[in-house]
Amino acid sequence: MSMPPPPPPPQPSGGEIPPPPPPGPTPSAGVQYKFETVRVVRGMENRTITKRQKEGWEFVSQTQGKLRTEMTFRRVKRNIPVRLLAIVGAVVVLLVGTAIGVAVAVGGDDASEPVAASTTTVETHTGEPTEEPTEEPTDEPSEPEVSATEGPTETETPEPEYVYEGPKYEVVAVDNNQTPADLTAYWVLTDEVDYANDKYKDKIELLIEDVARTNLATDLIVQVVSLKDVALAEAASTYRDFAREKGDEYVVNEIPQLEVKHWIASYTGGFNYNTGKASTADAAYELVWRPYDTYEAVNWKPEIE
Interval 9-39: pLDDT, tens:
554 444 444 444 455 555 556 688 888 888 7
Parallel/antiparallel/unpaired status of strands 263-269 and 271-272: unpaired
Amino acid 124: pLDDT? 42
Amino acid 282: pLDDT? 94
Amino acid 256: pLDDT? 93
CA distances (Å), 32 to each of 35, 156, 292, 301, in order?
10, 29, 35, 21
Amino acid 182: pLDDT? 95
Amino acid 71: pLDDT? 87
pLDDT digit string, tens, across residues 72-117: 989 887 665 556 566 656 666 677 666 666 565 655 555 444 444 4
What residue ranges of the chain have pLDDT lower than 50?
1, 11-21, 111-128, 130
Number of H-type helices and E-type strands within the chain: 9, 11
Amino acid 84: pLDDT? 59
Indicate the pTM of the whole model.
Answer: 0.53
Amino acid 13: pLDDT? 45
CA distances (Å), 123 to each of 72, 127, 128, 210, in order?
75, 9, 9, 66
Taking the CA atoms of 86, 87, 92 and 97 in sequence, report the sign of the dihedral they define: positive
Amino acid 112: pLDDT? 47
Q: How far apart are CA 7 and CA 24, in angstroms?
A: 33
To which H or E segment does residue 117 belong? helix 114-123
Amino acid 29: pLDDT? 60
